[in-house]
Structure 1
Amino acid sequence: MIELKGNSVLVRDGEVKRREAANRAYLMKLDSDHLLFNYKLEAGRYSGRDIPEGAHGGWETPVCQLRGHFLGHWLSAAAMHHFETGDPELKAKIEVIIEELAECQKDNGGRWAGPIPEKYLHWIAKGKEIWAPQYNLHKLLMGLVDVYRYVGNAKALEIADSFADWFADWSGGFSREQFDDILDVETGGMLEVWADLLQITGKEKYKTLLDRYDRSRLFQPLLEGKDPLTNMHANTTIPEVLGCARAYEVTGEERWMDIVKAYWNCAVTERGCLATGGQTAGEVWMPKMKMKARLGDKNQEHCTVYNMIRLAEFLFRHSGDPAYAQYIEYNLYNGIMAQAYYREYRLNGNKHPYPETGLLTYFLPMKAGLRKDWSTEKDSFFCCHGTMVQANASWNRGMYYQDGDGIYACQYFDSEVTADIGGVPVRIQQSQDRMSGSLMNSSNTAGYQGINEITAIHENMPPYRKHDFVVRTTEPHAFTFHCRIPDWILSEASVYVNGVLHGKTADSGRFYSIRRVWNDGDKVSLILPIGIRFVPLPDDEHMGAFRFGPEVLAGIGEEERILYVDNEDVASEIEMENEREWGSWRFFFKTVNQDPSVQLRRIRDIGYEPYQIYFKVKKSEQRRSNRS
C-alpha cells in the first residue's frame, strides 16, 4: 500500500491549516545564525567572546550536552513543508543552512559535522557519563537525509555521506559485546538513517552499519515474547524500532518486520492505552494494563506520541489494518493537537490572566488539578520541540493511501487528494458538512444571511458527523473507494452515493468499500453517529475518561471530583451546553447531576486551566449514604 503525500495531498481543514501556518511561521522566525551557533562554535567558525544576543536557550545552550539537536528537526520539518507547498522562502533558508554546515564540516576535517565534540562518543566507549550524543547526532543526519529527499539538495547528501564515514571507522573499532554496551546509551534513530542512506546510495558501508546498530539486547527478548519495555524509557526504544521498520523496507529481511510486530504487540496490544491514545508516564512505558497508579504530572510525552504515530503508519501501510489508523486518529486529536499550537477556544465573559496561545507542552498531565506547562519559543528546545515542528509539517501525511486501483481515506479532515489510477488522474475532495444551516461567515456582514432550510431542520447539533467526498475525473473510470469506519461510532454508520443509500454498517474498525465506475462530480457521503462514551481504565472499570467521538474531554477544576451517577449509562452524565455561536456549532459540555456541575471541554481546547481527565464514578446512593 502506498501512502499518498507531498503535493498530492492538500489540507483544506481550517484548524489544521492554522497549525501548519503557525508551524511555518515559527520555522521562519528562528534565526539561522542561532540555529547554527553550536555547529559554528564546534568548527571554530565563531570568534566572539560572549554568547550572541538572542541565542537559543534550554537544550540549545552551549553548555548542554544535547546542544544542536534541534537544527536536525528544523531541517526535516522545513523540508516536509517545502515538499507539500513548494515554499521558496523555506527552501532558500534551508540552502543557506546547508552551505554553512558544509563549511563547518570542512573546518572539522572533512567528515565530522556535529555540534558536539567527537570525544563525546569516545567517552561512551569508556563508560563515562554523557547525555545521548548519538541521539543528538542522529537528528542532523535525519535532517540532511530529509533535505535531500524532499528538497533535492545534493550537498545535504554529501555532508551526510561523509559524516557516515566517521561512524563507520569509529564503530569498527569495537567487539560485538563492546558495541552492544555502546548501544545501551540512547542512539535515537541511527538505525533508521543508515537504512535510508543504504537505499539512497546502495553503499556497502551502510549494510555494515545496519548490522552494527542491530540492538539485539532489546530486539531478541521481543522476538522471544518477553516484556523488556515495562519501566523502560519509551522514546529510546521507539526510534530504534522505527529503524527496524525502515530496515525491512530497504532490505526485505523478515526479521526486521518480526521485531516491529513484536514491539507493537508488547507496547500497545498487550499494554493498552490511555483514552487519549498515549501510553507513557515519566517518559517510561507503564506496566501492562496497569495505568491507574501512573496518572500523574508527566504522562504522554509528545515525542512518544509522534513517533508511535509513525510506527502505526508503517504497520498500516504493510497490513491495511484500520486499527492502526484508528490509533493515529486518537493520538492526532488528543496528542498532537492537545500539546502544541494552542489557541484559546473563547468563551465570552470568561475573564482570566492567561495568554490566548501556547506553543508546546512536553507532557499531558493526567493527574486531576494539574495544568499543561507551556514552553517558550527560544528558551526551551527540549526534545519535543523537535517532534512538534515535524508533526505540524506533516499534517497531509497518513490521510490517504493507494493500493492498485483502490483509494483509502483514513483520516477525516477537509482535504484534497490526487492519484493516478490506471493512467487516469483522479482527484477526490473531502469536506465536512457541519450542517449548521447558516451561510453567514466571517467574510459576510452581520446584516447578510442566506435563507437555508437546514437551519430549521437541525435545531440542535446533529448526533452524527457527515463527511462528503467528491470525485473529479476527466473520464468515467472504475476504481474502489474505501472509507474507514471509526470505532467510536455509537450506532450504524450510513454511506450514500449521489444521495442514494449505498449501505449501512455497525462494524466499526473496518473499511467500507465502494466499487463502481465513477463519473466527474460523483459524491460519497459518510454519516458517522457521534456522542459521548465513557472509557474506563484497564485496571479500574469505575474510573475512566469521556470521549466525544475521537476527542477526549477534560473537566475544568482545581481539585479532583468524584462523579455520582444514577444509572449504568455513565456517559449520560455528560451533556452539551452553549452549543451554538452565530453560524457555527460549538463544543462545550457539562455534567448533569453533580453539585456543583463540572464544565468540560475537548482536551485540545484546554490551555492554562487546571483540569481533570479521569473521573472516579460512584452510584448516587453512595453519596447519600456518606452524607447521612
Structure 2
Amino acid sequence: MRNSRILFICLIFLYRQLCQAQSHYPGQHQGKFALNDKFTPAVYAFDLHNVRLLDGRFKDNMLREQAWLRRLNTRQLLHSFRNNAGIFDANEGGYFLIKKYGGWESLDCDLRGHTTGHLLSGLALMYAQTGDEYYKLKSDSLVKGLAEVQAVLNQEGYLSAFPQELINRNIAGKSVWAPWYTLHKIFSGLIDQYLYCDNQQALNVAEKMGMWAYKKLQNVDSNQRSIMLRNEFGGINESFYNLYAITGKKEYQWLGQFFYHNEIIDLLKQRKDILAPKHANTFIPKLLGLTRNYELDGLGDSDTIAKFFWDTVIEHHTFATGSNSDKEHFFKPDELSKHLTGYTGETCNVYNMLKLTKHLFTHTREMKYIEYYEKALFNHILGQQDPATGMVSYFLPMLAGAHKVYSTPENSFWCCVGSGFENHAKYGESIYYHDDNGVFINLFIASQLNWKEKGLTLQQETSFPASGQTRFIITTAPTQPLALHFRFPSWAKSMSVLLNGKPQKIKTSAGSYSTLSRIWKPNDIVEISFPMELQLKATNDNSSKVSITYGPIVLAGKQGSVQMESPAPYSDPNKYNDYYTYQYNVPANIVTKLDINNQNIAESIEAMADQPLTFKAKKEGIILQPLYNIHHERYVVYWDLK
C-alpha cells in the first residue's frame, strides 16, 4: 500500500500510478482525478523506499542528520502549538516549564511552527530512506500532538503555532511575516507523513486544514487576493495540488489555483527576466505549484513558463556551485562578479531549485537538468552540513576569504535549517529513474536500488568524486531483457564501459546516455570510468574572474582560520536575522589572484600525491580542495587571473 501512495508525491504523479491508487484505495480517494491527458512523462521517479545509501560521504551526512533528528524534543516542538491552543503540558498532575526553542521558533516570531512541518517531512523521508521504525514512531507522536491541538482549537480545521490573526493581517495587507509560508511547511509535512509513513491521521489533519483554508478564502475579493499574494506564501499551492491529487476533492484544486500569482507568472509568460530584485525563495516555489498544476490538469503554458524560469535562473543567475541570490534576492542578470558577497547562495533556494529540476527532468529526460542537479547537490547541499556538529549553513558565501557559518542546535531554526532536515534525508531520490524498459543511472553515489516490479537489485559501489570510476553489481536479475542507461557526463572527456571485465563498444557522446541492454544474470558487473580534468569557469560578466572545477566539483582555496569570530554567531535566541550583522573580518593578506595558464591548467595546478581531491597552485602555494570539504576555515572560490 505504501509504495502506491508514495508515487503520488514523487514529483511526477504518473497516470498509471494514480489510476492504480484510485482503484486500490477507493475509500480514501473519492472522486475522479482530473489529469492532463496530454502529459506523458519521459521517465519515472523511484520510490525512496527502494533506494538505500551505502558507505560514503552522503551516508555520513545522513547519519549526522539522524543524530540531530533524534536529539530534537517532541514536547519542545509542539510547545508553541499547544501554547496557541491554551493546552498546558502536564506531568503526573502538575505543570512544568518546558525549555523553549529560540530563533525562528521563538514564541514572538511570526514563523513559529515552520520547523515542525519541515521535521515531519524530514522524519518521513528518513524513514523511507532507512526503514528505521524510530523515525515513524517519532513522527506518529508529532502528528498525534498536532491533531490534539487542531481539535482543541476547534476553528473549522485551522492548525498553527500562531493565531488566525496573522492570516487576517495578511489578507488585509497588513505587516506580517509569511503565515501561509509557515502553513505550507505544516501541510507538506503532514502529506509526507501520509505518503511515506502510511499515517492516515496526518492526512485527516491536512484535509481539515485544507477545508478551513477553502472556507477562509472564499470571500476574499480579487483586490484583497492581489495584496495578500505579495506576501511570501512558499509552496502552499503545491501542497493544495497534492491534496487534490490524493483525494480528488475540487476544493483543494481551487485553493491551488487561488495561489496562482498573476503579477509574477503572467510576466514570465512574456519570456522576460523579471527576477531582480525579487526575493528568490519567495519566487521559486510559485513555479513548483505551477508545475504540479500542469501535471494534474495541464494548463497549456505552465510547463513552458517553468522551463523558461529554470533556464533563466541557471544561465543568468547561478554561481559555479549551483546556488543563486545575494542577501536572499535575485540580482540583475549576468552580474555574478558584482555579487560575490558573504550572503550569497541561500540554501533554501537550492533546495527549491532541485525540486523544480526533478519535475522538469521527469517531463523531458533532458540531461541539462541532471547536470545541474549534480552540481548543486555536490557543491552546495553536501557542503551545507558541518561534519563536526551536524549543523547547517544558511548561506554559501562567495566572498573571497569568507567562511561557512552554521546554525545552533536550539537557537536558530531558520528556513535553511528546516529544509536541511529534508536535504540530508533524501539523497537517494534522484540517483536512479526509470521508464518501462530500463533504469537511468544519473548520479554516482554509493547505493543500492531494488526495483521490485522488475525483479532487479542493483548495487553501485563508488568513491566518486575521489575517483572517476563506479561499479555496478547485479545482485538480483530480471528474467526479461532490461536496459541500463549510464550517464556520460558533459564534464568527462571520455567514458569507458566494461561488462564482466570485457570492453563494450558503445556509441555515445558526452551529455547523453550509454546503454547496455541484455538479459542480466546475478553477479554481472559493469564498470564505468570517466576521467576528470581541471577546468576554469568564468563568471558570465567577467572572463578574468574564474572558479576552478575538477569534473563537476568546485575547488576552493584554503585560507586558514585567522581572525575568525568565536564563539559562532547566530547564538542569540532573541535575534532572528543576526546573520546579516555578522562580520567576516577578512584579513587584508588573503590571496585572491592566481597565475594560471588557460591553455594548460596542469602547468599551474598540480594534484597532490596520495591526497585525493587535493591540488596545489604551484606559484602561490595555495591548497585547493572541494568546497564541500572545507569547514571552519576561510576559502576563496572565485579568483582573479593574473
On whether the aligned pair clears a TM of 0.5, the verdict is yes
CA distance in 2, matches of 1:479, 1:505: 18
C-alpha contact (below 8 Å) 1:358/1:374 kept by paired residues: no
- Trace 1:382-393 onto structure 2 (pairs within 5 A): 382-393=414-425
- Trace 1:225-624 onto structure 2 (pairs within 5 A): 225-269=271-315, 271-340=316-385, 342-343=386-387, 356-357=388-389, 359-420=391-452, 424-432=454-462, 465-474=468-477, 476-489=479-492, 491-503=493-505, 507-557=509-559, 558=587, 559-565=590-596, 568-570=599-601, 572-577=603-608, 579-580=609-610, 586-594=612-620, 597-618=621-642
1:93 Cα deviation after fit? 1.3
After superposing the two structures, state which structure 1 stretch, 553-562 or 382-391, moved more: 553-562
C-alpha contact (below 8 Å) 1:493/1:504 kept by paired residues: no
Partner of 2:57: 15
Deviations 1:6-62 (A, max 9, x none): 221111132211111111221111000111111001010137999945321110010
2:632 counterpart SS class: coil
Deviations 1:152-195 (A, max 9, x none): 11111111111112211121112223202211110111100110
Please say if 1:155 is aligned against 2:171: no
Ranges in structure 2 where 5+ consecutive residues have no aligned partner: 1-42, 560-586
- Seen in structure 2, the aligned counterparts of structure 1 residues 366 and 541 have a Cα distance that, compared at 3 Å, is same
C-alpha contact (below 8 Å) 1:533/1:571 kept by paired residues: no
Deviations 1:520-550 (A, max 9, x none): 2222211111121111111111110111222
CA distance in 1, matches of 2:403, 2:129: 35
How many residues align? The count is 567
Partner of 2:48: 6
Q: Please identify which structure carries the higher strand content.
A: 1
Deviations 1:232-275 (A, max 9, x none): 11110111111112222222333332321222132223x15211
Please say if 1:31 is aligned against 2:73: yes
Structure 2 length normalisation: TM-score?
Answer: 0.85
1:545 counterpart SS class: strand
2:87 counterpart SS class: coil
C-alpha contact (below 8 Å) 1:410/1:484 kept by paired residues: yes
Partner of 2:161: 115
CA distance in 2, matches of 1:255, 1:169: 29
CA distance in 2, matches of 1:67, 1:519: 54
Deviations 1:84-138 (A, max 9, x none): 3222222111111111111111111141111111011111222211111110111
C-alpha contact (below 8 Å) 1:39/1:116 kept by paired residues: yes
- Seen in structure 2, the aligned counterparts of structure 1 residues 51 and 574 have a Cα distance that, compared at 3 Å, is farther
- Seen in structure 2, the aligned counterparts of structure 1 residues 590 and 505 have a Cα distance that, compared at 3 Å, is farther
Ranges in structure 1 where 5+ consecutive residues have no aligned partner: 344-355, 436-460, 619-628
Deviations 1:429-484 (A, max 9, x none): 1112789xxxxxxxxxxxxxxxxxxxxxxxxx9xx611111223355531111011
1:297 counterpart SS class: coil
- Seen in structure 2, the aligned counterparts of structure 1 residues 587 and 514 have a Cα distance that, compared at 3 Å, is same
198, 213, 221: which is aligned to 1:167?
A: 213
- Trace 1:177-188 onto structure 2 (pairs within 5 A): 177-188=223-234
2:556 counterpart SS class: strand
After superposing the two structures, state which structure 1 stretch, 293-302 or 118-127, moved more: 118-127
CA distance in 2, matches of 1:227, 1:567: 32
C-alpha contact (below 8 Å) 1:494/1:505 kept by paired residues: no
1:205 counterpart SS class: helix
Partner of 2:250: 204
Residue identity opposite 1:609 in structure 2? E
CA distance in 2, matches of 1:513, 1:108: 57
2:485 counterpart SS class: strand
CA distance in 1, matches of 2:327, 2:602: 30
CA distance in 2, matches of 1:533, 1:522: 35
2:320 counterpart SS class: coil
Please say if 1:74 is aligned against 2:119: yes
C-alpha contact (below 8 Å) 2:291/2:359 kept by paired residues: yes
Residue identity opposite 1:280 in structure 2? S
C-alpha contact (below 8 Å) 1:576/1:590 kept by paired residues: yes
